[in-house]
């Protein structure tokens, strides 16, 4: 397992989705001067995102984004996030950056994982790339934590990502404080969903993003919210934003590999 050098926390990085560097600084009254960095500088948190590429046994290089300072893991909660089908780490990044998450963000560190090939504007995975199974994805989370020197985490996953983190928790319970799993399924898709997914896979791999494949991914992601009590304009905006990112940022052939992995 290769170990990457840790980025200097004094150097700001470009936030995902930002056109210019965006840094939000707030003083933490619970820490005295010097506790933040071990010297006489004020205890100020800079909310930036650090990018790591970590070699793993089954997934190959995994792209990881860290929000927060991992050197403060003894004083903060550490969350490990894995995204759903049709998404990548930016869905959790945006969630963390929402104003309602302000107090939690100040007291937490977030480690976001991009499943292979699901990064924004990713190149098509080679035909000979052996896409990992859900179990292998879960097991490789250990190498992510070891490389970043993280002792224990709270898993935060959605859909397929929730399934991956459930497997990680079962494989390495001594590294998990708890799991927050949204829309998690513990078994493979039902028979009708299986055939729908097979059709979608063919369309994604053959002709890119197709309306019926896109509609299925919308249903997979939003599910009961489509007929729920959510304000119609809010629901439409969420769906449109998801569709726009799906078309403009996610590689359809790589997405097909992730969908197939979820089914198997």
Mean pLDDT of 108-123: 96
Reduced 3-state DSSP string for the chain: CCCCCCCCCCCCCCCCCCCCCCCCEEECCCCCCCCCCCCCCCCEEECCEEEEEEEECCCEEEEEEEECCHHHCCCCEEEEEECCCCCCCHHHHHHHHCHHHHHHHHCEEEEEEECCCCCCCCCCCCCCCCCCCHHHHHHHHHHHHHHHCCCCEEEEEECHHHHHHHHHHHHCHHHEEEEEEECCCCCCCCHHHHHHHHHHHHHHHHHCCCHHHHHHHHHHHHHHHHHCCCCHHHHHHHHHHHHHHHHHHCCHHHHHHHHHHHHC
Per-residue pLDDT tens digits for 133-173: 999 999 999 999 999 999 999 999 999 999 999 999 999 99
Domain ranges of the chain: 1-186, 190-264
Which pLDDT score is estimated for 116? 97
Which pLDDT score is estimated for 42? 40
Which pLDDT score is estimated for 40? 45
Which pLDDT score is estimated for 32? 38
Which pLDDT score is estimated for 145? 97
Tell me which of 37 and 90 has the higher pLDDT.
90
CATH of domain 1-186: 3.40.50.1820
């Amino acid at each position: 397992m290769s170990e990457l050098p840790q980025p200097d926390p004094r150097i700001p990085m470009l936030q995902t989705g930002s056109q210019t560097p965006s840094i939000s600084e707030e003083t933490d009254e619970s820490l005295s001067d010097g506790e933040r960095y071990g010297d006489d500088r004020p205890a100020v948190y800079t909310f930036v995102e650090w990018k790591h590429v970590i070699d793993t046994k089954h997934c190959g290089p995994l792209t990881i984004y860290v929000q927060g300072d991992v050197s403060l893991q003894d004083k903060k909660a550490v969350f490990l996030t894995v995204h759903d089908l049709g998404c990548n780490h930016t869905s959790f990044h945006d969630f963390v950056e929402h104003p309602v998450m302000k107090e939690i963000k100040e007291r937490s560190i977030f480690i976001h994982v991009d499943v292979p090939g699901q990064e924004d504007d990713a190149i098509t995975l080679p035909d000979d790339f052996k896409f990992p199974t859900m179990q292998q994805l879960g097991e490789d989370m250990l190498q992510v934590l070891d490389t970043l020197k993280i002792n224990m985490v709270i898993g935060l996953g959605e859909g397929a990502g929730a399934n991956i983190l459930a497997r990680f928790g079962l494989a390495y319970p001594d590294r998990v404080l708890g799991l927050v799993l949204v829309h998690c399924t513990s078994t493979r898709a039902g028979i009708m969903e299986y055939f729908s997914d097979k059709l979608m896979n063919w369309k994604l791999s053959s002709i890119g993003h197709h309306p019926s494949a896109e509609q299925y991914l919308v249903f997979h992601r939003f599910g009961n919210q489509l007929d729920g009590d959510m304000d119609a304009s809010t629901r439409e905006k969420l769906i449109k934003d998801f569709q726009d990112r799906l078309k403009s940022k996610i590689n359809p052939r790589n997405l097909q590999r992730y969908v197939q992995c979820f089914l198997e």
